[in-house]
Amino acid sequence: MENLSFLEKKITRSISPENFTGEKGKGGMCELEKGNAKNAARDLGRGWKVNPYIILQPGETFTIGEIRGSGVINHIWLTPTGRWRNTILRMYWDGQENPSVETPVGDFFAMGWNEYAQLSSLAVCVNPGSAFNCYWPMPFRKSARLTLTNIASEPVVMYYQIDYCLCEVAEEEAYFHAQFRRTNPLPYKQDYTIVDGIRGKGKYVGTYMAWGVNNRGWWGEGEIKFFMDGDREFPTICGTGTEDYFCGSYNFEDPRSHADYVTFSTPYSGLHQVIRPDRLYSSQFRFGLYRWHITDPIYFEKDLKVTIQALGWREGGRYLPLQDDIASVAYWYQQLPTAPFPALPDKDYLEVI
């Protein structure tokens, strides 16, 4: 907060369904008959919350933000209906054909299981009832374009707001990236790949994982590995366990009762979501975990690959390679151009089941 009192050369703008372009003095101008909330505002008319949301039809892609010039997005808020993995968020910087961000909207905001869980961190906050907030800085030099695609068979209602500044971007600033992956089930004795194919200079800044356990017992013995700048068989950075990487220890268990998981949400890391089995249909444990490398980013010069092992225990005190349902979002900054991402799986493979 030491710089909060500085008067900088920046111009604040904001995009929402009440001002699709973010232009100065253009908010709340929707005519009553054109607004999605025209029925609710029928007694009040123009200027009275006439168009606060959009409706995404099945198969539709809608550009929620298009900005020309140089600047930085510093906050995104949205609240969707429907199943959150059926709405795909993409971001394009400086006119690139390939997106630098491509992920289901729920997973991007660390809500991969389509169930609300309180999350309070510096980069992402999820607040009641389903308010998704992102504070990753997203600079651009020529343009920014953000889209949402509805891959469901039902319409989706979306409230959103994109807050940004028009300003100069320093030469040293890189572009924000986020990539989603999901493997279900993980093949036996195979590491889970969080991200691969990153090319160029940059820094890795965060990991979100939606981890569904397909067996009984502890599931987090696996090590995370960062292969950078030409690493092949062995990585430069090798963790000591899954809960260790997410800044917990000893199974995330209650140290007094040793009978349950303890959720936590901190500025930089958390096990913010534990979905417990019931006695009928919800038969497996599911977890949401995040680790933001805000004070300890992982710098790379040429390339980066990140993997994590899925390990439990078997008889005889031996590790058990697991075949779990794992999804993730990797967050990083790098120079352009962005290498093409692997194609997203189809709707059925993405489904939370």
- What is the rounded end-to-end Cα distance, in angstroms, of the chain? 43
Which band of pLDDT confidence, cut at 50, 70 and 90, is reported for residue 279? Answer: confident
DSSP 342: P
Q: What pLDDT is attached to residue 287?
A: 98
Strands (E), 28-100: 54-56, 61-68, 71-80, 87-93
Q: Of 112, 137, 172, at which residue does a domain stop?
A: 172
Give the gyration radius of the chain's Cα atoms. Answer: 21
Residue 305: strand, helix, or coil: strand
Is the residue at 109 inside a domain?
yes
Q: How far apart are CA 165 and CA 335, in angstroms?
A: 21
Q: What pLDDT is attached to residue 100?
A: 98
Pairing of strands 224-228, 303-308: antiparallel
Q: What pLDDT is attached to residue 91?
A: 98
Q: Of 155, 172, 189, at which residue does a domain stop?
A: 172
Q: Residue 183 sits in which domain range?
A: 174-340
The structure's pTM equals 0.97
Mean pLDDT value across residues 4-20: 96
Residue 250: strand, helix, or coil: helix
Q: Are residue 143 and residue 191 in the same domain, yes or no?
A: no
Which band of pLDDT confidence, cut at 50, 70 and 90, is reported for residue 234? Answer: very high
Mean pLDDT value across residues 80-104: 97
Is the residue at 348 inside a domain?
no
Mean pLDDT value across residues 10-14: 97
Q: Is 32 left (phi over 0), alpha (psi -120 to 50) or beta?
A: alpha
Number of domains into which the chain is organized: 2
Tokens of 304: 């980066």
Q: What pLDDT is attached to residue 211?
A: 98
Using alpha carbons, select from 325, 262, 257 the residue that is nearest to residue 113: 325
Mean pLDDT value across residues 309-331: 97
Which band of pLDDT confidence, cut at 50, 70 and 90, is reported for residue 1? Answer: confident
Q: What pLDDT is attached to residue 3?
A: 86
Whichever domain contains 27, its CATH number is 2.60.120.1390
Residue 233 pLDDT exceeds 90: yes
Residue 292 pLDDT exceeds 90: yes
Mean pLDDT value across residues 15-27: 97
User: Residues 285, 269: contact at Cβ < 8 Å?
Assistant: no
Exposure b/e, 303-341, CB count within 10 A at least 16 = b: bbbbbbbbbbeeeeeeebbbbbbbbbbbbbbbebebeeb
How confident is the prediction for the chain on average, in pLDDT? 97
Q: Are residue 280 and residue 195 in the same domain, yes or no?
A: yes
Beta carbons within 8 Å of 185's beta carbon, 6+ residues apart: 214, 323, 324, 325
pLDDT tens digits along 121-178 = 999 999 999 999 999 999 999 999 999 999 999 999 999 999 999 999 999 999 999 9
